[in-house]
Structure 1
Amino acid sequence: MEHNFRRTWDGIAWQRHAHILVQMRHGASNVQRVPDKVNGDAGLEFFTLDGCLYQCFAPEDPGNTPKTSSAMKQKATRDLPKLKEYEDTLAKLLCGLKCSRWILFCPVLDDKAVIAHVRAKGAEVAALGLSFLSADFEALVQSQDDFTAEAAKLRELPIGPNLLIAQPSEEEVTTQESTDLVVTLDGKLSRAYPLVTESKRAKIRRTYVKNHIKGGNTLAALKSEHPMLWERAWQTISAEESRLEMLGAAGEAAPAERLQESLSRIEEGLSKDLPHVAHSTLTAISAGTLSDWLMRCPLDFDGDK
């Protein structure tokens, strides 16, 4: 049974996410990551103390099944022989541990032929009698569908304010203030705050620009460190944007009040869909989303063109 998991990943993000899932399955203290900065990773991303060898792979075009299947087969063909090539290195790393499984861990698995290929290559390696492989050694292919329980637990983990978010620099803010998008923003702010002075409106505009940059950085950090939560946040934002585009922001309330209403709706939606994410993180995303809408025009006021 397939589940609605994110299919497209870049290699580094997938490796980080896979590491978390593997830690949740085997226990964090039972998983050893194999760094690749010095002489590569010897064909392993991480291994577990109960005898599993994991290698991660994120296909570039998961929507193209033949291309993806070919790439996964090639990955196994390249990396399984590394168990022999790096036998001495791996034996030292494993330190007497007997391993019974080599697992190619991918975001998706759509083609049974990949399983047959990986198992055949695994049988070839098993026949070599490597010192750190057990007699029942097998090579497998697994995907997110094999880690549904771990994924469900991951969604419920609290994400505190310690998410590493890049703060907007003055240079970034100044650069973005000169773009056409901010010209659009400034026009809307002049209607939302018609009684404030030019200098006051400039300060308000700068705050929106900072929020736009910080919101984007927050979503980028969430996508990198907690991609499943990022996907949920993105779905919430997209749904609210679609509602806004369909119904518009028209009404008897003043523009400033409509801005507050839109901000509250975003925060409320995110709070419901991401109840375990720190309020400060949700606030940064909400404020950034509102700024983005004002610049791109999903949020419009009467008389805007």
Structure 2
Amino acid sequence: MSSIMPFIEGYMNGDAWEDLCVRCYRLKYQTQNYTAIPAVHGGDAGIEGFTCNGIVHQCYCPEREYDDKELYEHQRNKLTADIEKLMNNRDRLKKLGVPPIVEWHFNIPEYRDSRILAHAQIKQEEVLAAKKKSPSLFDHISDNFKIYVKVAEDFTPEISRIIRTNLTDMKLNLAIQHQDTTDWSKCDSQKVANIRRKVGAVMRVSDDNPDLNEVVGIYIGFYISGMEIMNNLQLHFPEIYEDLYQLEQSYKREVSLKTRMHTNRQLNQNLFNDILNEFQSKLEKDFSPMLTQASIVELKQDLVASWLADCSMEFRSE
């Protein structure tokens, strides 16, 4: 299933995942008086935190990469152990002020085997059966008890806000691996022609120059990857996307004016390099707290490629 985890820089270990989940629950359930439970003094009683309306959650993140089968088995075993802990911690949960539990959320970065959903349903039925058999022993659990598997994708608005408002050292990595060869068919022929014409004017070389083809191919690759990155940002991190879009649109107009008012074609390359450097500085100023340096360099080239492909950036060829 889809995951936003590849966009998060570095490997997410258990402590980092737990911290992220707690931050997400604080934001998502502010009006339900979310309370986090530190894992000290005898453990966390099988939950990381709770709300006043009976939602509790527990986190699990594998400490290393597993294949699909191994990941499912570890997730299954963790869910089983924590539900058992939940059932056995009646007195401790009550002392902490946890109300009758209506929902138990199993927070995992992702799952790749739907059997974890089936297992969650099995454990839910077991809990309800035990409560029906011994109501007083399990009065810390609601008659309407449910287990839900929650993945990172379920908290994209909260994760986006956490990163955007610098509530964490976490950064997004948007840099992608470019192919050695670019599939020009993914780029409209008019856009290709625009890129070729403008790059040729900057380089001041003939149309049959082999270096021109190479550079044009690179910028077509940037243009294609830029569309992919912006689409992913809009889908997964809409607030960050909106901030970036507004900056890009503002500077795009500035670029249009700079290049159209420039009359000395001998200095096209100087102007182009100045635009690249200035735009990177603007990106670094506004986005370095939330994006890796590689992401900023990638976005600079991708967005400049989009200006070459449309009518925003023009260079005199004669």
Indicate the TM-score class for this superposition, using the shorter chain for normalisation: 0.5 to 0.7
Task: Point out which structure has higher relative CO (alpha carbons under 8 A, 6+ apart).
Answer: 2
Q: Distance in 2 between matches of 1:151 and 1:44?
A: 20
Q: Distance in 2 between matches of 1:238 and 1:266?
A: 20
Match among 56, 61, 64 for residue 58 of structure 1: 61
Query: Gaps (5+ residues) in structure 1?
Result: 164-224, 240-245, 248-259, 290-305
Q: Which residue in the other structure is 1:5 paired with?
A: 5
Give the counterpart letter for 1:122 in structure 2.
Q
Q: Distance in 2 between matches of 1:3 and 1:78?
A: 25
**1:278-301 Cα distance to aligned partner (Å, 9 max, x none):** xxx69xx87xx9xxxxxxxxxxxx
Measured on the aligned residues, the alpha-carbon RMSD in Å equals 3.8
Does structure 1 conserve the Cα–Cα contact (< 8 Å) formed by 2:124 and 2:146? yes
Does structure 2 conserve the Cα–Cα contact (< 8 Å) formed by 1:60 and 1:68? no
Q: Which residue in the other structure is 1:109 paired with?
A: 111
Q: 1:45 to 1:238 in 2, by over 3 A?
A: same
Q: Which residue in the other structure is 1:69 paired with?
A: 72
User: Alignment partner of 1:140: what SS?
Assistant: strand
Matches within 5 A, 1:216-255: 225-227=168-170, 230-231=171-172, 234-235=173-174
Kindly state the Cα deviation for residue 127 of structure 1 after the two structures are TM-superposed.
2.3
Give the counterpart letter for 1:138 in structure 2.
K
Q: Which residue in the other structure is 2:307 paired with?
A: none
User: Alignment partner of 1:49: what SS?
Assistant: coil
Match among 5, 19, 23 for residue 26 of structure 2: 23
Match among 71, 78, 81 for residue 78 of structure 1: 81
Q: Distance in 2 between matches of 1:126 and 1:92?
A: 22
Matches within 5 A, 1:1-305: 2-6=2-6, 8-27=11-30, 30-62=33-65, 64-94=67-97, 97-129=99-131, 130-155=138-163, 157-159=164-166, 225-227=168-170, 230-231=171-172, 234-235=173-174, 267-271=281-285, 274=287
Kindly state the Cα deviation for residue 271 of structure 1 after the two structures are TM-superposed.
3.4
**1:105-127 Cα distance to aligned partner (Å, 9 max, x none):** 01112221001112211221222
Q: Which residue in the other structure is 1:221 paired with?
A: none
TM-score (norm 2): 0.52
Does structure 2 conserve the Cα–Cα contact (< 8 Å) formed by 1:18 and 1:105? yes
Does structure 2 conserve the Cα–Cα contact (< 8 Å) formed by 1:94 and 1:132? no
Q: Distance in 2 between matches of 1:153 and 1:107?
A: 18
Kindly state the Cα deviation for residue 94 of structure 1 after the two structures are TM-superposed.
2.7
Kindly state the Cα deviation for residue 136 of structure 1 after the two structures are TM-superposed.
0.7
Does structure 1 conserve the Cα–Cα contact (< 8 Å) formed by 2:57 and 2:106? yes
- Equivalent pairs: percent with the same residue? 24
User: Alignment partner of 2:130: what SS?
Assistant: coil
Does structure 1 conserve the Cα–Cα contact (< 8 Å) formed by 2:12 and 2:61? yes
Kindly state the Cα deviation for residue 38 of structure 1 after the two structures are TM-superposed.
0.9
Q: Distance in 2 between matches of 1:63 and 1:268?
A: 40
Kindly state the Cα deviation for residue 87 of structure 1 after the two structures are TM-superposed.
1.1
Query: Gaps (5+ residues) in structure 2?
Result: 132-137, 179-213, 216-273, 297-318
Q: Distance in 2 between matches of 1:29 and 1:52?
A: 9
Kindly state the Cα deviation for residue 101 of structure 1 after the two structures are TM-superposed.
0.7
Q: Distance in 2 between matches of 1:125 and 1:29?
A: 24
Does structure 1 conserve the Cα–Cα contact (< 8 Å) formed by 2:2 and 2:153? yes
**1:33-75 Cα distance to aligned partner (Å, 9 max, x none):** 1112211111111111121110000023456221111111000
Q: 1:62 to 1:23 in 2, by over 3 A?
A: farther
User: Alignment partner of 1:100: what SS?
Assistant: strand
Does structure 2 conserve the Cα–Cα contact (< 8 Å) formed by 1:104 and 1:142? yes
TM-score (norm 1): 0.54
Give the counterpart letter for 2:283 in structure 1.
G
Q: 1:47 to 1:153 in 2, by over 3 A?
A: same
Kindly state the Cα deviation for residue 84 of structure 1 after the two structures are TM-superposed.
2.2
Q: 1:86 to 1:142 in 2, by over 3 A?
A: same
Q: Distance in 1 between matches of 2:285 and 2:20?
A: 23
Q: 1:49 to 1:263 in 2, by over 3 A?
A: farther
